[in-house]
Amino acid sequence: MSCLSRLLPLLALGVSAMAMADDPQLYRWTDAQGTVHYSDQPPSTPAADLVTSAIPSFPPVDPAKLAQQQAALIAQVTALQQLLQAQLAQQAQAADLARQRAELEAASQAQQAAQDQPTPAEPIFITSGFVPRVYRANLYLPHQHDSHRERPIPAFDRPAISMFQKPH
């Protein structure tokens, strides 16, 4: 029985420790210097203004439920990352298409401007030895098909000779 009498206080102390572990206490008191103390342990010296408050314990956490919630959150984050990457790829593709469209428009405008400019007439017989110099001068004058318009007089040192006249 002596063993049982020794074991009984230890058992009571263990039960009270387990009870306190489930429902922790918060102690507040003021010491002799006027300092307010908060602790989970009672003061070593008795205090007249000791206030004890029960701290509610957190509910037990189910590890399987916690793992399931974490897996769901990880799946959501992964889906959001994939969506963000797809949006970034679409934006990059839209920017690339806009750049290509601008380049194509600039090339089209340059081609249109080149087509709008008249092509200069290249003198074919300018250096030919078979065509006299006087005739070469008249070959490249603009032709007037309207008889009522006056022909421009070329600014050469000698007047133009018609084909039907002999030179002087």
Write the DSSP string, 38-81.
EESS--SS--TT-EEEEPPPPPPP-HHHHHHHHHHHHHHHHHHH
Confidence band of 2 (pLDDT split at 50, 70, 90): very low
Helix (H) or strand (E) holding 26, with range, is strand 25-30
Same domain, 70 and 49: no
Both tokens of residue 92? Answer: 């990059």
Residues spanned by the domain of 41: 2-54
- 50 and 65 part of one domain: no
Which element (helix H / strand E) includes 88?
Answer: helix 63-116
The number of folded domains in the chain is 2
Poorest-pLDDT segment among 1-5, 62-66, 139-143: 1-5
Query: Does residue 19 surpass a pLDDT of 60?
Result: no
- Which residues, including other chains, have CB under 8 Å from residue 138's CB and lie 6 or more apart? 154, 160
Q: What is the band of 127 on the pLDDT scale with cuts at 50, 70, 90?
A: low
The model's pTM: 0.36
Determine, yes or no, domain membership for 132: no
Show which of 96, 114, 132 is a domain's final residue. 114
49 and 36 both lie in a single domain: yes
Task: Supply the pLDDT for residue 113.
Answer: 86
Residue 49 lies in a domain: yes
Give the residue-averaged pLDDT of 99-117. Answer: 91
Residues 46 and 76 in one domain: no
Give me the chain's average pLDDT, please: 76
Residue 36 within any structural domain of the chain? yes
| Position 13 confidence tier, pLDDT thresholds 50, 70, 90 | very low
